[in-house]
Chains A and B, each alone.
Chain A
Amino acid sequence: MVEMTERVSALAAIYETGTFGNDVDGGPSVTLHERRPLSIVHIAGNSDDQAFAGGVGKACGCALPIEPGTIATAGELSLIWLAPTRWLAVSPDQGPGILEAALRDACGESGAIIDVSHGRTVIRLSGAHARMVMMKGAPLDFHKSSFTPGRAAQSAISQCGTLITCPAEDTFDVYVFRGFGQHMWEWLTDAAGEFGYKVENPVS
């Protein structure tokens, strides 16, 4: 029965597709959509511990990224470096508890595996001016030569702690705690207004 219960997004009440913001020549240059539904698992452990690192690798299909600010991927799953002992595994929704259980089974007693699938709102921005929108928000170096695809960084936008990843050229995923989801959506769309922006349907 569990599969039948639909997950309600933090943005459900305000989400509206369409074209908004300034009417600019050439049309909107920023596109936004919510990434959902996702399975998100917080992973904590010692990367030197083979049982842990090997287990995560096995469950995710890719090795733990050890270099700060990097992402490892396996198909549609990303393993994002958060801290020397913390990572976030993100994939399209695999069903309640599935990814968490896979990781826990693979790691055994090592490390800490915590399902946070419902605890984050993830917003994807893309387009020619997505980088400018990010520059308005976070004190990070978003230059093309610096924040390249495969990079991740945690910082703050509008006083909210965020995880920002660059999955592809001119594309950014902004992760915030679910409770800040609506605020972040409003803030980002407001910042994108200058360039004209398009909101598309949510997709994981």
Chain B
Amino acid sequence: MSRSYRTAEGGRIDRSKPLSFTFDDVRYTGFQGDTLASALLANGVKLIARSFKYHRPRGIMSAGPEEPCGMVQLREGARTEPNIRATQVELFDGLVASSQNRWPSVKWDVNSINNLFNRMLPAGFYYKTFMWPKAMWMTYEEVIRHAAGMGRSADQPDPDRYEHMHAYCDVLVAGGGPAGLMAAKSAADSGARVILVDENPELGGYLRGRNQKVGAKSAMDWVASVHVELEAMENVTILSRTTVASYYDHNMLVLNEHTGDHLPTADGWTPRQRNWKVWAKQVVLATGSIERPLVFGNNDVPGVMLTNAIQAYANQYGVTPGRNAVVFTNNDSAYEAVLDMHDAGMRIAAVVDNRTIETAATKPVRERGIPVFHNHVVFNVRGNKHGVKGVEIMALNEAGDHVAGSIIKMDCDVVGMSGGWTPTVHLFSQSRGKLRWMEDITTFVPDVSFQQERSAGACKATWGLNSCLKEGAKAGAEAAKAAGFDTAKPVSSPKSSDDGMGEIRAMWRVPQPPHSHLKRFVDFQDDVAASDVELAIREGYTSIEHTKRYTTLGMGTDQGKTSNVNGLAIVSEELDKPIPEVGHTTFRPPYTAVTMGAITGTERGHHFSPTRRSALHEWHKQAGATFVPAGMWMRPQYYQQPGESMWDAIYRETLNVRTKVGMFDVSPLGKIDIQGPDSAEFLNRCYINGFGKLPVGKCRYGVMLREDGMVFDDGTTSRLSENHFMMTTTTAKAGPVLQHLEYLLDVIWPELNVHVVSVTEEWCGMAVAGPNSRELLARCTDADISNEGLPFMGVAEVDICGVPGRIYRISFSGELAYEVGVSSDWGPHVWSTLMEKGQDLGVAPYGTEAMSIMRIEKGHVVGAELNGRTTADDLGFGGMTSTKKAFIGQRSITKPAFLETDRKQLTGLKSVDGKTKIPRGAQIVADPKGRIPMEQLGEVTANCYSPNLKEFIGLAIVKGARDRKGDRLWAFSPLTKECCEVELCSPHMYDPEGERLRG
């Protein structure tokens, strides 16, 4: 007999396009239009994976996103991905997949011994066994994880491209089945902007797997015609191969579009996946329903499948998953499938129906000579890793709670099961909609909507094609109307037949003969059997949320699509409580797993975060700068010359500023333009010190607090005219300070007439620092920059190097220094001109490291000291604090805790022996050899070797430091074990009188 399970004809595959692929290193052939699952089944491959806990052999169970068993490791190398549902992988030429969760092979799996000892792995096994002794948990976990596994992730960077998209629409339709298509059409006809989303490569939903008619056409011809119509409309976007993964607040939905997954590789700039954020005014959920398994003995043997899946493989893919089937059902829907299976050439050994009464659906099946057993159940499946061998059937007793009579043994190689249908309410539930239990069809259905959405079709338990079409059209029109398209009306739907699943006989656990201990699986992905749920209840886990976590029921990547209802029904039976009282677990996004890549989008690699470059960036690069990220800015850290070490360069740059002249790019400092008649008053209220009397043409150093009294930021602010100021902020706080000022003006003092705007990027800022700085600038400007013409803290509007600019006489380095500001596009010209003109003066650029050394020498505070826990007084600005005006944070600093004398205060540090460096980030303690825990007196905030003072120095925040000058303490780093005895000193270690900068 041929190994092929492909039908001679039929199916929506392209038999002229054979595709070659490998599974577990064996080469097979499929066709364009196959999924990996259909192609494997066509080749007679039944064993796909080993189960999670017991390593039981598993095959393909479904034909869609609900697949709990048939998961594979897809692709190789950097593109490999675990846990991929074979039922949703479109076959492409050269596809490589392998089974997962097995060692060394899926056929000879060492860990399947777990199955023999499965009584040792009951519900809550992890919790029970591995909680003691505690220290052993790590070891157990490692072993378990290795044994369990769930495939492996790639160990190389993902070479594929992922993107984000953003869209708005009037009506989003989730699902391209009959209801969704009609909804999209009705909404679109009204002029509404519609986005129709469908997870499959082809629209049609469940119709793809059926042989139905819409009007006079075959259903799929009808689908194709609607597709063409919709596609021609400018107001419609159709997103195929796209899953509505998540439904968030305010009708925002996240879609996962598989733009390139069906291709061998998505080349060049074509993304593999896109994550869409869509804000929809209205949503129509037409997500269909999922067939439910029945819970009977060994219902997980490869070849036990959902009945609609067998039907779909036969109709859509021209594949018969077996040659000889038994179908076990509790409703009418399986009978249609049986007819299709029969017509596709399968032998149907029997239909086993647990219901007592024959329905109309039975008749055509009997007419084909297929035996139907009513009031019977399949209670056991015989089979192994090679698949189903047969089933065991028994009659039910009168009450229907036990099997009775003798066992009927029947051979077969595939078993169809149909336990009714579960509406796919995941998105509805994510949207905060309330569900209602419908006892007659044993399922939850959408009840009360919370957001702007409506369900239509099978996801609302509307069975039958005719009803779904009508309901879809109505929902689409209603949605459009609600979105403001008043003329919207349902498009008329073509007449179709309307058979549903008839009466259903709930049977949550199929009874087994006395003394049988057959495993009846509820959750196939997590290996949770009915007995596990029973045990959990016996052990007292009576809340459904607890049962879920204890048994892991519904916690797999399949989100319990096939197991939720069966699981909670068993809980309900065990607790003897009606299902609505047991409730249901929460549906959480995403509906199906979304790769990390799609979530990340383009925000990876050098686009992880934007890079901000100064106008002088290229100059720094040419000059050999090493860059350091500071916030988003790239700042030159130091400029290493041939033969120099990093520290050589840094010390050279530092000494050059102290002895000659250096230039530093200060463009990243925040600059805020402040204008308006109330500007001075506004600044007075923002800073601890006064700005009202600052003369025009002068700068002043200012400190800002938060309302809680802690220092927020500092900087120099200049008065350019009566009502015009220029504020500078630290680089890090440029954004927050602007936001703070805007808040104050919008919310606290709307009466002030002040305009603030960021001008950081308009200005290229250059610090020109060192004894030769005045001489250098004098060569480049005609303006009077003498000590008299431009005294310390003066500002002048000048022409410099031929362009207009400003010179501020301010100094961060402690030297005679200026800050030159010119419009950014001219920055490179001015900087290079200064460099050129200052060659004989010894001008050289310096980076952040040299700047950092000089600021430590001078005791200037930066972010490390402005850490949100220091007050102005702690940092030595007590004297600056005005007592004559109110300002932000003022009232807080009079609180007792702010006045305590042993607050941690800023201090300078010197290494006592002069040889040991002060460890970075160290703790300040009295005695490092003392008893642990010891009192932490403070912490080191900055440390360096000062090439000017020729010793190791640092800054620290230390308890009562101002009154402890000369005291010796220890700087101890528990992390690096470094230790240094330090002497507390004034933070102003270099030129404490500030004579140099005023010169």
Contact = CB atoms under 8 A, between A and B. Distances in A.
- On whether A and B touch (CB less than 8 Å), the answer reads yes
Interface of A: 1-2, 4-10, 12-13, 21-22, 37, 42, 44-45, 85-86, 96-97, 109, 111-112, 114-120, 135-136, 138-146, 158-160, 177-184, 186-187, 190-191, 193-194
B761 A190 contact: no
Given A4-B802, A158-B610, A183-B611, A178 B761 contact: yes
Name the residue in B763, B801, B803 with the highest tally of chain A Cβ atoms < 10 Å from its Cβ: B803
Contact of B268 (A21, A44, A177): A21
B624 to A, nearest CB: 16
A180 B269 contact: no
A180 B612 contact: yes
Contacts of B823: 96, 115, 117-118
A112 B676 contact: yes
B914 interface: no
Contacts of A85: 755
B607 A22 contact: no
Contacts of B614: 179
B675 interface: yes
Contacts of B602: 136, 158, 187, 190-191
Given A114-B675, A178-B615, A180-B612, A158 B607 contact: yes
A45 B166 contact: no
Nearest to B735: A161
Interface stretch (B401-409, B456-464, B824-832): B824-832
B757 interface: yes
Contact of A112 (B165, B235, B675, B802): B675
Interface string B378-422: 000000000000000000000000000000000000000000000
Contacts of A160: 610
A143 to B, nearest CB: 6
Contacts of A112: 673, 675-676, 755, 757
A140 to B, nearest CB: 7
Contact of A5 (B609, B755, B762, B826): B826
A138 B603 contact: no
Contacts of A120: 761
A193 B268 contact: yes
Nearest to A159: B610
Given A5-B802, A135-B167, A182-B613, A187 B607 contact: yes
Contacts of A42: 757
B824 A190 contact: no
Contacts of A190: 269, 602, 607
Given A138-B166, A191-B602, A118 B762 contact: yes
Contacts of B268: 21-22, 193-194
7 contacts: A5-B826, A8-B615, A42-B757, A136-B165, A144-B234, A178-B761, A186-B606
Interface of B: 163-168, 193, 234-235, 267-271, 277, 279, 602-603, 606-607, 609-615, 617-618, 632-633, 667-668, 673, 675-677, 755, 757-764, 799, 801-804, 823-829
A158 B600 CA distance: 12
Contacts of A193: 268-269
Given A21-B268, A178-B824, 20 more contacts: A2-B802, A5-B803, A5-B826, A96-B803, A109-B677, A112-B676, A118-B761, A118-B762, A118-B824, A119-B763, A120-B761, A135-B165, A135-B167, A143-B168, A146-B168, A159-B609, A160-B610, A177-B758, A184-B610, A186-B607
Nearest to B754: A112
A142 B235 CA distance: 13
A97 B762 CA distance: 13
Contacts of B757: 42, 44, 86, 112, 114, 116
Contacts of B267: 22
A179 B613 contact: yes
Nearest to A13: B618
A184 B677 CA distance: 37
Nearest to B193: A143
Contacts of B760: 119, 177, 179
Contact of B618 (A12, A22, A37, A111): A12
Nearest to A49: B753
Nearest to A120: B761
Contacts of B609: 159
Contacts of B825: 7-9, 37, 117-118
A120 B271 CA distance: 30
A186 B607 CA distance: 9
Given A45-B755, A114-B757, A119 B829 contact: no
A24 B612 CA distance: 32
B824 A114 contact: no
Nearest to A7: B825
Given A136-B165, A177-B760, A180-B610, A111 B826 contact: no
A186 B608 CA distance: 13
Contacts of B763: 118-119
A158 B761 contact: no
Q: Closest 9 CB pairs between A and B?
A: A193-B269, A7-B825, A119-B762, A112-B675, A44-B755, A141-B168, A179-B612, A112-B755, A118-B823
A158 B763 CA distance: 24
Contacts of B668: 179
A146 B168 CA distance: 10
A2 B829 CA distance: 12
B588 to A, nearest CB: 23
Name the residue in B271, B755, B827 with the highest tally of chain A Cβ atoms < 10 Å from its Cβ: B755
A144 B235 CA distance: 9
A136 B271 CA distance: 12
Nearest to B164: A136
Name the residue in A115, A116, A182 with the highest tally of chain B Cβ atoms < 10 Å from its Cβ: A116
